């Protein structure tokens, strides 16, 4: 039996032969008992495989575990440019924090000292109120100076066209 005939029989059983080729083969099978026997064998084997089917293997892991690996791949992740930007921001913050932390500490100490009147002794050393005002705003000149017990000091800058009133707490 030649190879071509064997393959033709199989194609016939698989429904892959053209009408013309199928008619030719059927005529051959009528006359050739050996070919007919082979055809029957192939047919039985096909029935066996298709009839019995496959084993019912199931996923060997839980769905949640199986899905997680898929989900991790298909869910949107931060892009590489976003990650790079985030990294740059972090580095810049770390650089600034090296200065900000000691600067903040110094500012806090200064604030506490100011509130406790530590600077009052320094200011008392300045004799006149005008000098004190000049120290505070040297470019301004006093236009209406009152005694300290009056509670306020006012300044006027003609060149700037601005008036400033200093109100004392005591």
Partner 1 sequence: MSVDLPFEDREETEVVSAAQTGDVDAFEELVRRHGDKIFRRALSMMRDENTALDMAQLAWIKAWNRLSQFHGDSSFATWMTRVTINLCLDHIRKAKRWKFAESIEEMDENSGGVERKLPFVEINPTEGLEREELKKTIDKALAQLSEGHRAVIVMHTFEEMAYKEIAESLDCSIGTVMSRIFYARRNLASILKRMLEEDSQS
CB of 51 to partner 1, least distance (A): 5
Count the alpha carbons within 13 Å of 81 in the hemisphere toward its beta carbon: 0
Let me know: does 143 contact 165? Beta carbons within 8 Å.
Answer: no
User: Distance of alpha carbon 4 from its chain centroid, rounded?
Assistant: 63
CB of 96 to partner 1, least distance (A): 39
C-beta closer to partner 1: residue 13 or 136: 13
SS3 of residue 166 by DSSP: strand
* Diameter over CA atoms, the chain: 139
Check residue 7 for interaction with partner 1 (CB under 8 A): yes
Q: In degrees rounded to 5, what are phi and psi of residue 6? A: -60, -45
C-beta closer to partner 1: residue 57 or 116: 57
The contact mask relative to partner 1 for 48-87 (x = CB under 8 A, - = no) is: xxxxxxxxxxxxxx-x--xx-xxx-xxx------------
C-beta closer to partner 1: residue 6 or 126: 6
Let me know: does 142 contact 153? Beta carbons within 8 Å.
Answer: yes
Check residue 138 for interaction with partner 1 (CB under 8 A): no
β-pair type (152-157, 141-144): antiparallel
C-beta closer to partner 1: residue 4 or 116: 4
Give the interface with partner 1 as residue ranges (CB under 8 A): 1-3, 6-7, 10-11, 14, 16, 37-38, 40-42, 44-61, 63, 66-67, 69-71, 73-75
């Amino acid at each position: 039996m030649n190879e071509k005939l064997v393959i033709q029989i199989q194609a016939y059983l698989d429904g892959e032969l053209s009408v013309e080729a199928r008619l030719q083969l059927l005529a051959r099978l009528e006359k050739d008992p050996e070919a007919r026997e082979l055809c029957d064998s192939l047919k039985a084997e096909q029935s066996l495989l298709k009839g019995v089917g496959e084993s019912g293997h199931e996923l060997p892991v839980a769905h949640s575990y199986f899905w997680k690996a898929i989900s991790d791949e298909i869910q949107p992740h931060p892009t590489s440019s976003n990650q790079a930007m985030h990294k740059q921001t972090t580095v810049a913050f770390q650089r600034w924090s090296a200065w900000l932390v000691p600067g903040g500490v110094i500012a806090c100490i200064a604030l506490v000292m100011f509130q406790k009147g530590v600077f009052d002794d320094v200011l008392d050393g300045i004799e006149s109120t005008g000098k004190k005002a000049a120290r505070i705003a040297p470019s301004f000149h006093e236009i209406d100076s009152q005694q300290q017990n009056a509670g306020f000091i006012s300044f006027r800058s003609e060149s700037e066209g601005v008036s400033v009133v200093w109100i004392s707490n005591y």
